[in-house]
Amino acid sequence: MIVDLRRPRMLSVGSFEVGIVDSGEDHEDQAPILLLPGTGGSTKRHYGFVHPMLSLRRRVVGVDFGPAPSPDGAMSLDDLRDQALAVAEDVLPGRRFLICGYSLGAEVAALVAAERPDLVEGLVLVGGWLRSDAHQRLRNSVWRTLRREDSAALRDYMTFCAFSSAYLAARAPEELERLPERFVLGDLIDQHMRLTPTIDLTEVVEKVVAPTLVVGCSLDQMVPPRATKQLFGAIADARYAEVASGHAIHTERPAEMLRLVEQFASEPTGTPAGSILRGITA
Amino acid sequence: MGIVDDDRDHPTEVDVIIVGAGFAGLGMAIRLARSGEHSFLVLERGADVGGTWRDNTYPGVACDVPSHLYSFSFLPNARWSRVFSPGGEIQEYLRRAAEDEGILPNVRLNADMLAGTWDAVGQRWTVTTSGGVYTGRYLVLAAGHLADEKLAQIPGMDSFSGELFHSARWNHDVSLEGKRVGVVGSGASAIQIVPAVAHQVRELVVFQRSAPWVVPRMDGAYTEAEKRLFERAPETIQDLRNDIFWTFEQQYAARRKIEPFFSAIRKFATRHLHDQVPEGELRRRLTPDYDLGCKRMLISSDYYPALQQPHVTLEASPLAKIDGTTAVSAAGNSFELDVLVFATGFEAAEPPFAHHVTGKDGRSLAAHWAAGMHALNSTAVPGFPNMFVLNGPNTGVGHTSTLFLIETQVEFVLSAMAHARAGDIGTVEATSVAEAGYQQEVRDRSAGTVWVDGGCKNWYVDPRSGDLTVIWPDFAYVFRDRNGSFDPDGYELVRGEVSA
């Protein structure tokens, strides 16, 4: 039996076209999980490993954020929140769910959890941050300059930022060559990149009451663990885990990410608030 | 030490008896000693410690898991010579571990377990060996999966006038120089033996029942600079271990037949075959007809080239009969041979030691396992109080290092003993209900994996029940999260006298 229950389809939310990747069997005693990808990403790109493995044991719904219809259209965190909530309402009407966000998706997930405590049973924030700071804005501004200039260095720069030095150093030459090609450049990432430097969740996350798992990536050069840890401090019922990975945890350490998400999902309050979770020592 | 072990009326009494001195037995012993428990003995039937690495000395023997992961986490070795170190180096590592940790005085060599019996009155295990009688509160069976060679009975075997031996009992007195040699099997041992001996033999015939999936061996020697870094900054060893571990964990997705991972690894292996073997009859014979992973995926960069030497023949048919110096395949092809090497694997699913162990109702462990091995937490068996099995049911792995599971079990046993000590518990015994629940859980986990649904006949599935009994059919981390420490739920704990 090859398990592939993915049921992709589209949903119109205001002027956005949102992709839905719904898979796995629903069990009444198990909250489904909503997966939110990061900047310019998709369920497939940011949860390529976690999504099918998670859905072996539970209902999992991936949200593929759509671009704003006009290329120059501004996009707000509220727009992304609306898309996530519309998918939840469409696919999981009346259900409480867990929500897992990666990178920019973590910012959206935190906003959803803050505003809809009635819906969110647990929150997982992977590679997220509390507020965009000087380091974040500097990287963002370099990216946007390279993008505006249509620089040949843009993809290399993205590769350099996304992966840990250890991961890059260990790749075979042909694999290394393919890494920069994986980034999709288009309206979606442009709009997301305009949004990210403006994010400040300081007040928002004070309202998060759901049990939360904050996952930092210890080798992350885009969202360093320093920035992710601030969420651990800011959210009342948060616990923290760190993975030896660059920002591209979905590629560098997907099995470890799966373990954290699945373990938290099976018992969100299994560890007390303030806990720092120990990883596996191989 | 002045210990006299051969007085049957006065057996040597200890807290813990460990049977087997391979990775599992020595790991258990070292962790016991480090935890301050010194009343234990390791009973070993062989003449040295090391288990499978003592037994397997065939040409080319090496581990197919990187050495930095295939070693104890609590005894890192900065000096591994290569990514995949040779078997002799692993044996040396184990021997040194036993020495350095002061375990050797607790090891009884040449002590083959003839009977292990639970004494319900004395609440102790009595183990009678070829070298003496011992009793212990706890019995830890650490005999392993790769201990007893499987020597298929081939018609006419006794008539073979040449030299015949199993790969795990390599006869080093026999020179292969200029000989006609047959290798029976094409599994993990055979694909190391074939390239290692091909250059010295006159003719080489490999009897292949089914073609293995093979991926390149990304081997390499560590430089002195790297070894010194491991020594000076030992945390770099742990970082490397973690990195290898989590990279290997991803391979489980392919064993669970999840796309695109399942197709990707098959493509990778197919490309290796196509890169090394030109289109034609040999490539056709080497193309597996089952899902990758159903049998152990092998790693080799010199097996395919070895098969293409003019004096080497791949007979894509099992050895069917022997007549004097003639070996005949099931396909009917005859080969004149001087030496026959049986690289036919081990009795993993039906371990012979189970016949020698008797539980509280007088039933043997083999009888209890008549429809296949099973144990709560893969470790404890109902009817066999205070007994733990290491590297027994559902503890093998196809995608990572089995030592990760063995170490998990060792910590489980230590925590069970600590729990008993803290609560004045005399006996710890798995309940049948909990054990059955665990067995069902394992069945559920194996559904849809290549081991049960991969279109091959492998040694991981018990032919009597069709259950997957050798392999742990999930991520290795799930094994640790599930079985990492003792949970009294599912166990019957009886208060009793606890010896000091």
Q: What is the band of A165 on the pLDDT scale with cuts at 50, 70, 90?
A: very high
d(CA B22, CA B34): 18
The secondary structure element, H or E, covering residue B218 is none
pLDDT band with cut points at 50, 70 and 90 for residue A6: low
pLDDT of residue B347: 92
The CA-CA-CA angle for residues A261, B72, B378, to 5°, reads: 60
Mean pLDDT, rounded, of chain B: 96
DSSP A5: -
Weakest-pLDDT range from A28-32, A83-87, B50-54: A28-32
Q: Which of A230-234, B68-72, B95-99, B147-151 has the lowest mean pLDDT?
A: B147-151
Which 69-108 residues of chain B touch chain A by CB within 8 A? 69, 73
Chain B residue whose CA is closest to A256? B246
Mean pLDDT for the stretch of residues A240-266: 98
Whether B327 has a pLDDT exceeding 80, the answer reads: yes
| A101 neighbors A36 (Cβ within 8 angstroms) | yes
pLDDT at A2: 33
Q: What is the pLDDT of residue A70?
A: 82
Q: What average pLDDT does range A73-97 have in this prediction? A: 95
Separation of alpha carbons B18 and B266, rounded Å: 41
Class of domain A9-135+188-277: alpha beta
Instruction: Determine if residue A29 is left, alpha or beta; phi over 0 gives left, psi from -120 to 50 gives alpha, anything else beta.
Output: alpha
Closest CA to B41 of B126, B117, B123, B120: B126
Cis ω for the linkage preceding B260 (within 30 of 0)? yes
Q: Chain A residues contacting B, CB < 8 Å?
A: 1-4, 49, 52-53, 56, 166, 170, 244, 253-256, 259, 263, 279-282
Element (H, E) at B467: none
Residues B428, B116: Cα–Cα separation, whole Å: 17
Shortest CA gap A46–chain B (Å): 14
Residue with tokens 């990747």: A21
Local confidence band at A1 (pLDDT 50, 70, 90 cut-offs):
very low
Whole-prediction pTM: 0.96
Interface of B with A in 421-480 (CB under 8 A): 447-448, 453, 475, 477-478, 480
Q: CB of B241 within 8 Å of any CB in chain A?
A: yes
- pLDDT for residue B294: 97
* pLDDT of A73: 79
Contact A253 B256 (CB under 8 A): no
* Interface check B266 vs A, CB under 8 A: no
Q: B242 and A282 in contact by Cβ < 8 A? A: yes
Task: Please give the pLDDT value at position B7.
Answer: 63
Option in B252, B448, B475 nearest A1 (CB): B448
Positive/negative CA dihedral, B266, B267, B269, B273: positive
What would the pLDDT profile of B37-56 be if each residue is shown by its tens digit?
999 999 999 999 999 999 99
Query: Using CA atoms, how far apart are residues B150 and B167, in angstroms rounded to an integer?
Result: 10
Q: Is the dihedral of CA B384, B388, B391, B395 positive or negative?
A: positive
Confidence of residue B8 (pLDDT cuts 50, 70, 90): low
The mean pLDDT of chain A is 95
